[in-house]
Protein backbone atom coordinates (compact mmCIF):
# COMPACT_ATOMS: atom_id res chain seq x y z
CA UNK A 1 0.00 0.00 0.00
CA UNK A 2 1.12 3.56 -0.75
CA UNK A 3 0.05 6.80 0.88
CA UNK A 4 -2.11 7.68 -2.10
CA UNK A 5 -4.09 4.43 -1.62
CA UNK A 6 -5.31 5.45 1.85
CA UNK A 7 -8.58 7.21 0.85
CA UNK A 8 -9.76 4.19 -1.15
CA UNK A 9 -8.67 1.73 1.54
CA UNK A 10 -10.49 3.76 4.19
CA UNK A 11 -13.66 3.62 2.12
CA UNK A 12 -13.39 -0.16 1.67
CA UNK A 13 -12.67 -0.61 5.38
CA UNK A 14 -15.71 1.46 6.46
CA UNK A 15 -17.92 -0.46 4.06
CA UNK A 16 -16.69 -3.82 5.35
CA UNK A 17 -16.43 -2.95 9.07
CA UNK A 18 -18.97 -0.17 9.77
CA UNK A 19 -19.23 -0.93 13.50
CA UNK A 20 -15.50 -1.02 14.22
CA UNK A 21 -14.38 2.22 15.84
CA UNK A 22 -12.00 3.89 15.68
CA UNK A 23 -10.94 3.00 12.13
CA UNK A 24 -7.44 1.58 11.70
CA UNK A 25 -4.60 4.16 11.77
CA UNK A 26 -3.40 3.24 8.29
CA UNK A 27 -0.75 5.92 7.86
CA UNK A 28 0.78 5.09 11.23
CA UNK A 29 0.69 1.35 10.53
CA UNK A 30 2.57 1.92 7.28
CA UNK A 31 5.60 3.07 9.29
CA UNK A 32 5.46 0.07 11.66
CA UNK A 33 8.00 -2.60 10.78
CA UNK A 34 5.78 -5.25 12.33
CA UNK A 35 2.99 -4.50 9.86
CA UNK A 36 2.50 -5.23 6.16
CA UNK A 37 -0.36 -3.61 4.26
CA UNK A 38 -1.14 -5.07 0.83
CA UNK A 39 -3.60 -3.84 -1.77
CA UNK A 40 -5.07 -5.44 -4.88
CA UNK A 41 -5.25 -2.89 -7.68
CA UNK A 42 -6.00 -2.57 -11.39
CA UNK A 43 -2.76 -1.39 -13.03
CA UNK A 44 -3.28 1.75 -15.15
CA UNK A 45 -6.86 1.70 -13.95
CA UNK A 46 -7.19 5.47 -14.08
CA UNK A 47 -6.49 5.37 -17.80
CA UNK A 48 -9.31 2.86 -18.15
CA UNK A 49 -11.67 4.98 -16.06
CA UNK A 50 -10.91 8.03 -18.21
CA UNK A 51 -11.37 6.19 -21.50
CA UNK A 52 -14.50 5.67 -23.53
CA UNK A 53 -14.99 2.10 -22.30
CA UNK A 54 -18.64 1.81 -21.19
CA UNK A 55 -19.30 1.76 -17.46
CA UNK A 56 -19.28 -0.31 -15.35
CA UNK A 57 -15.83 -1.77 -15.79
CA UNK A 58 -15.68 -5.33 -17.14
CA UNK A 59 -15.62 -8.09 -14.58
CA UNK A 60 -12.19 -9.36 -13.68
CA UNK A 61 -12.51 -12.36 -16.02
CA UNK A 62 -11.18 -9.87 -18.58
CA UNK A 63 -7.44 -9.96 -19.03
CA UNK A 64 -6.85 -6.91 -16.86
CA UNK A 65 -4.25 -8.09 -14.39
CA UNK A 66 -4.50 -7.17 -10.72
CA UNK A 67 -1.31 -6.83 -8.78
CA UNK A 68 -0.60 -6.84 -5.09
CA UNK A 69 1.90 -4.20 -4.08
CA UNK A 70 3.59 -4.05 -0.71
CA UNK A 71 4.28 -0.68 0.84
CA UNK A 72 7.94 0.02 1.52
CA UNK A 73 8.49 2.33 4.52
CA UNK A 74 11.16 4.34 2.66
CA UNK A 75 8.49 5.62 0.27
CA UNK A 76 6.77 7.71 2.94
CA UNK A 77 7.02 11.44 2.29
CA UNK A 78 5.77 14.49 4.12
CA UNK A 79 2.16 15.49 3.53
CA UNK A 80 -1.21 13.79 3.68
CA UNK A 81 -2.51 11.11 1.35
CA UNK A 82 -5.10 13.49 -0.07
CA UNK A 83 -2.38 15.72 -1.55
CA UNK A 84 -0.99 12.90 -3.71
CA UNK A 85 -2.07 11.85 -7.17
CA UNK A 86 -5.04 9.44 -7.10
CA UNK A 87 -4.00 5.81 -6.94
CA UNK A 88 -4.98 3.04 -9.28
CA UNK A 89 -8.42 1.60 -8.45
CA UNK A 90 -8.08 -0.42 -5.23
CA UNK A 91 -10.17 -3.60 -5.13
CA UNK A 92 -9.29 -4.74 -1.61
CA UNK A 93 -6.67 -4.74 1.10
CA UNK A 94 -5.19 -6.91 3.83
CA UNK A 95 -3.40 -5.90 7.03
CA UNK A 96 -0.83 -8.37 8.39
CA UNK A 97 1.09 -8.08 11.65
CA UNK A 98 4.13 -10.10 12.63
CA UNK A 99 3.42 -11.51 16.10
CA UNK A 100 6.31 -13.62 17.26
CA UNK A 101 6.92 -16.19 14.53
CA UNK A 102 3.39 -15.88 13.10
CA UNK A 103 1.78 -13.61 10.53
CA UNK A 104 -1.56 -12.45 11.92
CA UNK A 105 -4.22 -11.17 9.52
CA UNK A 106 -5.91 -8.33 11.40
CA UNK A 107 -8.21 -7.24 8.55
CA UNK A 108 -9.02 -8.34 5.02
CA UNK A 109 -11.71 -6.65 2.93
CA UNK A 110 -12.81 -6.42 -0.70
CA UNK A 111 -14.82 -3.65 -2.37
CA UNK A 112 -18.41 -4.93 -2.59
CA UNK A 113 -18.44 -4.25 -6.34
CA UNK A 114 -15.62 -6.78 -6.78
CA UNK A 115 -16.57 -9.55 -4.40
CA UNK A 116 -16.78 -13.11 -5.74
CA UNK A 117 -14.15 -12.23 -8.34
CA UNK A 118 -11.17 -13.89 -6.70
CA UNK A 119 -9.84 -10.72 -5.08
CA UNK A 120 -10.04 -12.00 -1.50
CA UNK A 121 -8.18 -15.14 -2.51
CA UNK A 122 -5.56 -12.99 -4.27
CA UNK A 123 -5.01 -11.06 -1.05
CA UNK A 124 -4.66 -14.33 0.87
CA UNK A 125 -2.07 -15.51 -1.67
CA UNK A 126 -0.21 -12.24 -1.20
CA UNK A 127 -0.31 -12.74 2.56
CA UNK A 128 1.38 -16.13 2.31
CA UNK A 129 4.01 -14.83 -0.13
CA UNK A 130 4.73 -11.83 2.10
CA UNK A 131 4.93 -14.06 5.19
CA UNK A 132 7.39 -16.39 3.48
CA UNK A 133 9.48 -13.38 2.47
CA UNK A 134 9.54 -12.22 6.08
CA UNK A 135 10.45 -15.76 7.24
CA UNK A 136 7.34 -16.07 9.38
CA UNK A 137 6.26 -19.57 10.25
CA UNK A 138 2.45 -19.67 10.12
CA UNK A 139 -0.50 -17.47 9.18
CA UNK A 140 -3.29 -16.97 11.73
CA UNK A 141 -6.58 -15.07 11.82
CA UNK A 142 -9.99 -14.74 13.46
CA UNK A 143 -13.18 -15.25 11.46
CA UNK A 144 -16.83 -14.91 12.39
CA UNK A 145 -18.49 -18.17 13.35
CA UNK A 146 -21.26 -17.41 10.82
CA UNK A 147 -18.92 -16.55 7.93
CA UNK A 148 -18.90 -19.95 6.30
CA UNK A 149 -17.73 -18.64 2.91
CA UNK A 150 -14.55 -17.16 4.40
CA UNK A 151 -13.93 -20.28 6.47
CA UNK A 152 -14.24 -22.40 3.33
CA UNK A 153 -11.55 -20.29 1.62
CA UNK A 154 -9.23 -20.53 4.61
CA UNK A 155 -9.70 -24.28 4.91
CA UNK A 156 -8.87 -24.56 1.21
CA UNK A 157 -5.54 -22.84 1.93
CA UNK A 158 -4.64 -25.21 4.74
CA UNK A 159 -5.96 -23.28 7.74
CA UNK A 160 -7.33 -25.31 10.63
CA UNK A 161 -9.69 -24.38 13.48
CA UNK A 162 -7.56 -24.17 16.61
CA UNK A 163 -9.74 -22.22 19.06
CA UNK A 164 -12.69 -19.96 19.76
CA UNK A 165 -12.78 -16.38 21.05
CA UNK A 166 -16.09 -15.92 22.84
CA UNK A 167 -18.07 -12.71 22.22
CA UNK A 168 -15.22 -11.45 20.03
CA UNK A 169 -17.18 -9.08 17.76
CA UNK A 170 -18.48 -5.90 19.36
CA UNK A 171 -21.48 -5.37 17.09
CA UNK A 172 -23.35 -8.59 17.96
CA UNK A 173 -21.03 -10.40 20.42
CA UNK A 174 -20.56 -13.21 17.92
CA UNK A 175 -17.84 -15.76 18.59
CA UNK A 176 -14.73 -15.88 16.41
CA UNK A 177 -13.00 -19.03 15.24
CA UNK A 178 -9.22 -18.88 15.48
CA UNK A 179 -7.67 -20.48 12.40
CA UNK A 180 -4.02 -21.11 11.55
CA UNK A 181 -1.91 -22.83 8.94
CA UNK A 182 0.77 -25.41 9.44
CA UNK A 183 4.29 -24.05 8.82
CA UNK A 184 4.05 -22.49 5.37
CA UNK A 185 7.65 -23.26 4.39
CA UNK A 186 7.18 -27.02 4.72
CA UNK A 187 7.24 -28.96 1.43
CA UNK A 188 3.68 -30.31 1.88
CA UNK A 189 2.26 -26.82 2.30
CA UNK A 190 4.34 -25.46 -0.57
CA UNK A 191 2.95 -28.13 -2.91
CA UNK A 192 -0.61 -27.23 -1.90
CA UNK A 193 0.10 -23.51 -2.26
CA UNK A 194 1.59 -23.87 -5.75
CA UNK A 195 -1.42 -25.88 -6.90
CA UNK A 196 -3.87 -23.32 -5.53
CA UNK A 197 -2.08 -20.27 -6.89
CA UNK A 198 -1.79 -21.88 -10.32
CA UNK A 199 -5.52 -22.69 -10.34
CA UNK A 200 -6.40 -19.16 -9.19
CA UNK A 201 -4.31 -17.49 -11.90
CA UNK A 202 -5.75 -19.81 -14.56
CA UNK A 203 -9.32 -18.95 -13.53
CA UNK A 204 -9.02 -15.23 -12.90
CA UNK A 205 -5.95 -14.09 -14.88
CA UNK A 206 -4.51 -12.19 -11.89
CA UNK A 207 -0.87 -11.98 -10.90
CA UNK A 208 1.01 -10.53 -7.94
CA UNK A 209 4.03 -8.34 -7.42
CA UNK A 210 5.59 -8.20 -3.97
What residues have CB less than 8 Å from 7, skipping those under 6 apart?
81, 82
Which residue in the list 142, 145, 169, 174 is annotated as catalytic?
142
Distance between CA atoms of residues 121 and 116, nearest Å: 9
Q: What is the 3-state secondary structure (H, E, C) of 5-25?
A: HHHHHHHHHHHHCCCCCCCCC
Instruction: Tell me the three state secondary structure of residue 189.
Output: helix
Which residue in the list 2, 93, 154, 157 is annotated as catalytic?
154
Question: Residue 157 has what DSSP assignment?
Answer: T
Instruction: Tell me the three state secondary structure of residue 108.
Output: strand
User: Which H/E stretch holds residue 35?
Assistant: strand 35-41
**Geometric angle at alpha carbon 35, from 34 and 40, rounded to 5°:** 155
Question: Residue 58 has what DSSP assignment?
Answer: P
The yes-or-no answer on residue 174 being catalytic is: no
The yes-or-no answer on residue 157 being catalytic is: no
Q: Which residues are catalytic?
A: 142, 154
Amino acid sequence: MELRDIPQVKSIDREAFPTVWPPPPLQRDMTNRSASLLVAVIPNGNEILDSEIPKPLPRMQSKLESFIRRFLPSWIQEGGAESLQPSEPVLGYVSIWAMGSDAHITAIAVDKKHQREGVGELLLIGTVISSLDRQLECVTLEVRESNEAAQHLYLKYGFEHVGVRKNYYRDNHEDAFVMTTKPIALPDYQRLFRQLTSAHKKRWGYSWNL
